[in-house]
Amino acid sequence: MSSSVNLETQDAGTVRLTYGDQEIELPVVEGSEGERGIDISALRGSTGLVTLDEGFVNTGSTRSAVTFLDGEKGILRYRGYPIEDLAAHCDFVEVAYLLIHGELPSPAEAANFRSGIRHHTMIHEDMRSFYNGFPRDAHPMAILSSVVGALSTFYQDSMQVDDPDQVEISIYRLLAKLPTIAAYAYKKSIGQPFMYPNNDLDYCENFLHMMFATPAHDHLVDPDFAEALNLLLIVHADHEQNCSTSTVRMVGSSNANLFASISAGIGALWGPLHGGANEACVNMLEQIAADGGNVKKYVDMAKDKNSSFRLMGFGHRVYKNFDPRAQIIRACCDKLLAKLNIDDPLFHVAQELQDVALEDEYFVERKLYPNVDFYSGVIYRAMGIPVQMFTVLFSLGRLPGWIAHWKELHATPGKRIYRPRQIYTGQNERTVVPIENR
Ligand code: CMC
């Protein structure tokens, strides 16, 4: 397996910063798509100042050659290829290869990669017993994160982060086992026996087989469902320095192994402001439908500054025009619902909500558009995937992106542990009053 890592930036002049009687010149670097950033690494050493950027709204945490996105123009490209192009011509495993290795695979490379994944789809029999310890109503994201973390206990032969062979086998194990771990989490929740993977099936078919087949009856995977899942996994596969990917890089920067880093990323993805929004979005649509479909009431609530309610599936830190992933998914959603002849009341609520919100001044002013999570839930519902599994499917999609970033981090010359600074606002020095005197 070869990897290409090009983290070079161009010199784009300098900025001069004046503070009191101090003046410092800081270099400006430019990436391959013209993005510019001030390199402030010398700032503290020269002036004692640090930068403050709550939520990293304006901070480039790294140079990266994996994914380019332009939120203003609604552009998303993995390794230079537009997401629309990849969605039209590739399957998820090819996209995973692209993200992890930097280039689309040749037919021989693709065959080799698929066979490497197939070889590792089962999880160790002893790992199945972990599931006995989880309560039946445990959230599958909690199970996913725990079992992925526990891979380190079973595969101690592949924990050296600087050994390419060990990293490679960990990558195969993760790509191969995550669908199995995820499907077992679902089977556990409904009390059905776990289904072993079927390596005659492709990646998405195999996942649907493990989800829906039982030992008592086979499950013929609907090709439209497998196609929709393939598309959803592709559009979720990477999104540059988002919360979970930054988490994977943060944990990986301490030289923690790949399983530990990905397990942490799954935890970050779970939150409703990130990957958990697809689950939260469908729960919200259900709530609106059960409340008589009064969309306006919820739009008003989202606008009310005294209410903490937000329209789930709307808004994005980076996309301020449209989310290209939402557009691809919307088309897939229409196609699937029409073909299955599904008249999902939630879809009507979603449609109405979108119409109201897109015309409402509050949303227009703040550039709050439907994001990727807005429609994905409706598609998953149509496929019979339970709502608690939605973010689990997001994890399956995001895995190659996490791996690509973890690998890139380790290939970065002069890699250092991630360790942000802070502006301390707590108590000044004081002395401890012994407990009997407090
Ligand atoms: N509903 C109502 N108001 C909103 C929403 C929303 N969904 N999102 C943002 N706003 C308002 C917010 O109140 C603020 O208003 P004001 O300027 O008057 O104070 C303004 O828009 C800017 O919001 P922000 O919180 O500063 O924006 P952010 O960039 O920090 O947050 C976000 C981005 C995605 C967390 C946020 O839009 C949100 O909470 N959306 C709902 C959750 C969601 O759908 N998340 C999935 C994101 S896509 C999947 C992924 O990649 O993770």
pLDDT digits (tens, 9 = 90+) for 236-272: 999 999 999 999 999 999 999 999 999 999 999 999 8
- Which parts of the chain register pLDDT below 70? 1-4
Q: Which of 101, 316, 405, 410 is catalytic?
A: 316
* 232 phi and psi angles, rounded to 5 deg: -65, -40
Residue pair 402/239 in contact (Cβ under 8 Å)? The answer is: no
Q: If you count them, how many residues does the chain have?
A: 438
The DSSP 8-state label assigned to residue 124 in this structure reads P
d(CA 245, CA 281): 22
Pick the atom of ligand 1 nearest to 274's CA. 52
Residue owning the nearest CA to atom 30 of ligand 1 = 317
d(CA 97, CA 165): 16
d(CA 64, CA 412): 9
- DSSP string spanning 241-306? S-HHHHHHHHHHTTT--HHHHHHHHHHHHHSTTTTTHHHHHHHHHHHHHHTTT-HHHHHHHHH-TT
Question: CB count, 10 Å around CB of 221?
Answer: 21
Q: What does the pLDDT read at residue 351?
A: 82
Q: Where are the beta strands (DSSP E) in 62-170?
A: 67-70, 75-78, 81-82
Chain-centre distance for alpha carbon 155 = 24
Give which of 397, 377, 395, 351 is closest to 144, Cα–Cα.
395
d(CA 159, CA 281): 37
The DSSP 8-state label assigned to residue 370 in this structure reads B
Q: What does the pLDDT read at residue 280?
A: 87
Token duo for residue 115: 């066979």
Q: What does the pLDDT read at residue 79?
A: 98
Residue owning the nearest CA to atom 11 of ligand 1 = 366
| Residues whose beta carbon lies within 6 Å of some atom of ligand 1 | 239, 242, 273-275, 277, 302, 310-317, 366, 368, 371-373
Q: What does the pLDDT read at residue 1?
A: 44
Cα–ligand 1 centroid distance for 314 (angstroms)? 7
Residue pair 51/43 in contact (Cβ under 8 Å)? The answer is: yes
Distances (CA, A) of 73 to 70, 107, 324: 6, 33, 9
Q: What does the pLDDT read at residue 354?
A: 83
Residue pair 379/333 in contact (Cβ under 8 Å)? The answer is: yes
Per-residue b/e over 161-199, b at no fewer than 16 CB within 10 Å? beeeebbebbbbbbbbbbbbbbbbbbbbbeeeebbebee
* 381 phi and psi angles, rounded to 5 deg: -60, -45
Cα–ligand 1 centroid distance for 284 (angstroms)? 15
Collect all residues with Cβ–Cβ distance below 8 Å to 67 and sequence separation of at least 6.
76, 77, 78, 79, 99, 238, 239, 240, 401
Q: What is the CA radius of gyration of the chain?
A: 23
Residue whose CB lies within 8 A of the most ligand 1 atoms, among 304, 314, 372, for a mutation test? 314
Question: CB count, 10 Å around CB of 27?
Answer: 16
Cα–ligand 1 centroid distance for 358 (angstroms)? 14
Chain-centre distance for alpha carbon 372 = 11
The DSSP 8-state label assigned to residue 149 in this structure reads H
d(CA 387, CA 374): 13
Give which of 18, 16, 38, 19 is closest to 28, Cα–Cα.
38
Q: Is 274 tagged catalytic?
A: no
Q: Is 373 tagged catalytic?
A: yes
Token duo for residue 395: 């994890």
Cα–ligand 1 centroid distance for 275 (angstroms)? 13
d(CA 410, CA 69): 22
Residue pair 399/353 in contact (Cβ under 8 Å)? The answer is: no
Residue owning the nearest CA to atom 19 of ligand 1 = 305
Cα–ligand 1 centroid distance for 245 (angstroms)? 19
Residue pair 103/112 in contact (Cβ under 8 Å)? The answer is: no
Task: Give the sheet arrangement for strand 36-38, strand by strand.
Answer: 10-19, 22-30, 36-38
* 405 phi and psi angles, rounded to 5 deg: -70, -40
